[in-house]
Structure 1
Amino acid sequence: MKAKPNLTRCQWATKHSLEEHYHDTEWGVPVYDDQKLFEMLCLESAQAGLSWLTVLQKRKNYKKAFQNFDIVKVASFSDKKVEELLQDKGIIRNRLKIKAFINNANCVLDIQNKYGSLTEFLWSFVNHQPIQNAFKSSSDVPAKTEVSNIMSKDLKKNGFKFLGSTTCYAFMQAVGMVNDHTTNCFRYKVIKSLNLHP
């Protein structure tokens, strides 16, 4: 998983092999699967106040603890299950964040009933088309945008928790709703050329 020295990456993904691998294989690739989108909503909300590397290092444990982010199963987690998860050293043991995962799973079920799918609902914020940016430096990339502000407000209106505008924008970047690879990054043109909508 070690980086090839001749590849130029986004600045944030150059310090650890886990970040490099995630950047090279997932970050910015459009996601149109409800379970995967739910996973990324959870992981991005888990990051609040922490580094993304911390979350990546615990990702396998999260998948195990939260039933591979099966929306129906997580939605049914009991208070007893919450107490069990708070003893799990493999995840971030924050009661509010754990309860937010469960709350948000139930909100996803409501969204699926209202809109047909979480995919349909979330991608509507970008008119079902990835936003193509062309930032030259990581310092030019915004922490949030008007679109992420609107998404966050709408999610909150639908009962979601731990999904502020900055978290929503990080989520949008992760699942390819926006291409924020810098123009010098070897993945920039690759992501720009992707057209994965089913």
Structure 2
Amino acid sequence: MTSISFSDAERRTAFTVAEAELIREMGNVSIVKFLGGTDQATARENWFAKIEEFVEVLPDGVFIALDASDGQVALRLAGGSTVVLRLWEARYAPTLEDSWRIMLKPRLAPVVVDMVGTALWGDVWVEAVAGALEGEPLPVVPSGDRPFGTFMREAREQLSASGAVEATVRGWTVQAAPEDAPWPWFTDEQTAHRAAKALALGTDRIGALFSDWQRASDG
């Protein structure tokens, strides 16, 4: 697992960037209220507690750096992947056709580990995750008609305009535990099914699998 503690300078820079982005997206709103704080210092602490809690369950070699240099706050990851943070969400959107959104909860970190593993090792990693799973993956269902948040709504609107079939326009949801709601959401069904296996495997087991593959690759 990754032990991480962001510097005060990193925290302040990221918070400033996140605040500016929130105002661009939603107008003159208070990021302090969104983050459940009474002032900027407590709001920033609340936010980074969740970010660090999420990053710390990732196996060594997945997380590279926190990046706030491009007008957004992002986690740079191995394999060239980048996950953008929107307060309590993590969003991956290299293309409209293969995008996803999860909440910043450690139990949902396997989605990120699987993405990085697939970027590094391709189909053989995907097969290894499936082979390590005992039992069934989590259910994958077409998403409901009410999207959660602007990211899902905008993705649906763009997919609809592109002429995508109805199920794709709605997207796909992996039914995780009730406490992990809003559940992980994907525009690509295959990616959703892959994530469903990773989530069923669990944070510790997929982390151990990734570490084994990393050692084998380095050796």
TM-score bracket for this pair, using the shorter chain length: under 0.3
TM-score, reference length from structure 2: 0.25
TM-score, reference length from structure 1: 0.27
Which has the larger strand fraction? Answer: 2
